[in-house]
């Protein structure tokens, strides 16, 4: 039979192992150890705190939209004009069935949604829009911005990634200052190179492009020389970098959900593009954006 000193060392070792196990899981289980080496705490105490994980209500009751020309429905109804009634986020057009219509119903989309997006806006203008959205105290804020940061007169003029990040972080702080519990759904920036490849098949669209739409990507649309290809590639890479910023910054806010790159990955065709500029989404494209948003907002889990 083991002597008393051996039994004492065994009990000491077991107690030490229990303490180490508790330390390894304390953040989740909230356990503690008593003098005898056993763990203590009720089952409720051992459950993860609700505040530790993301908070997401898949059925918000009000929506505010911020962003740029896409959220304003630019060129979806007439040439070079906004058409917010077909906005993927807050529009009322029955053929689009916006996110607001799908979540709130037709009358709810009128009474409980607000569109603060501005055609031509870049990320630097988003903090101001977020402050306006916060004043509405919405359950959900949708964000789609970044295309104009890449769509500049030249690739050299694109918004630096670090500046893009700072402005987005400032935007979320502005929202949290006025509407701390508002959820945020962040759309990825569309694949501008994909839109160029689809739209350049339309002669009328290319004529509209010459008025100055997204020159960094769309100028000299049929030029396949090395310099033009390099320019488009630089724009494409910058959009990818912007989307990574959106993902990273959103991940730090427990009430923010990024679309997982769904809009960037969507394979827009001519059917989804504006019949006037063949670059912005038309009614059909707006409806597809609404479908993507609704699927991601109402999902129990965030996009992968």
Q: Mind listing the domains of the chain with CATH numbers? A: 4-51 (no CATH), 55-298 (3.40.50.1110)
Average pLDDT, 10 consecutive residues per value, the chain (304 residues): 42 38 34 36 39 77 98 95 98 98 98 98 98 98 98 97 98 98 98 95 90 94 97 98 98 97 96 94 98 97 90
What is the number of other CB atoms lying within 10 angstroms of the CB of residue 219?
Answer: 17
Residues 154 and 210: their CA atoms lie apart, in Å, by: 14
pLDDT of 304: 81
pLDDT of 53: 53
Nearest by Cα to 72 from 117, 128, 133: 117
Helix orientation angle between 226-251 and 161-178, rounded to the nearest 10 degrees: 30
pLDDT of 54: 61
Question: Could you identify the residue written with the tokens 């940061």?
Answer: 149
Helix orientation angle between 99-111 and 283-298, rounded to the nearest 10 degrees: 100
Nearest by Cα to 61 from 118, 117, 136, 9: 136
């Amino acid at each position: 039979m083991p002597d008393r000193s051996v039994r004492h060392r065994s009990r000491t070792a077991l107690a030490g192992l229990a303490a180490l196990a508790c330390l390894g899981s304390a953040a989740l289980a909230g356990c503690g150890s008593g003098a005898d080496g056993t763990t203590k705490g009720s089952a409720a105490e051992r459950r993860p705190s609700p505040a530790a994980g993301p908070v997401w209500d898949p059925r918000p009751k009000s929506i505010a939209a911020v962003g740029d020309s896409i959220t304003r429905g630019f060129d979806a109804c007439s040439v070079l004009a906004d058409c917010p009634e077909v906005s993927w986020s807050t529009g009322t057009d029955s053929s689009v069935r916006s996110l607001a219509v799908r979540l709130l119903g037709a009358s709810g989309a009128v009474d409980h949604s607000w569109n603060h997006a501005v055609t031509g806006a870049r990320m630097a203008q988003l903090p101001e829009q977020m402050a306006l959205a916060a004043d509405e105290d919405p359950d959900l804020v949708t964000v789609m911005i970044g295309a104009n940061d890449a769509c500049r007169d030249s690739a050299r003029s694109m918004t630096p990634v670090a500046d893009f990040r700072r402005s987005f972080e400032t935007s979320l702080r502005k929202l949290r200052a006025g509407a701390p519990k508002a959820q945020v759904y962040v759309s990825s920036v569309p694949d501008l190179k994909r839109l160029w490849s689809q739209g350049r098949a339309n002669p009328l669209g290319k004529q509209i492009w010459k008025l100055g739409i997204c020159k960094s990507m769309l100028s000299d649309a049929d030029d396949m020389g090395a310099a033009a290809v390099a320019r488009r590639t630089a724009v494409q890479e910058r959009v990818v970098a912007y989307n990574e910023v959106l993902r990273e910054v959103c991940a730090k806010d427990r009430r923010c959900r990024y679309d997982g790159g769904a809009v960037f990955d969507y394979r827009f065709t001519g059917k989804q593009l504006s019949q006037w500029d063949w670059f912005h989404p038309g009614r059909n494209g707006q409806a597809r954006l609404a479908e993507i948003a609704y699927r991601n907002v109402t999902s129990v889990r965030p996009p992968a």
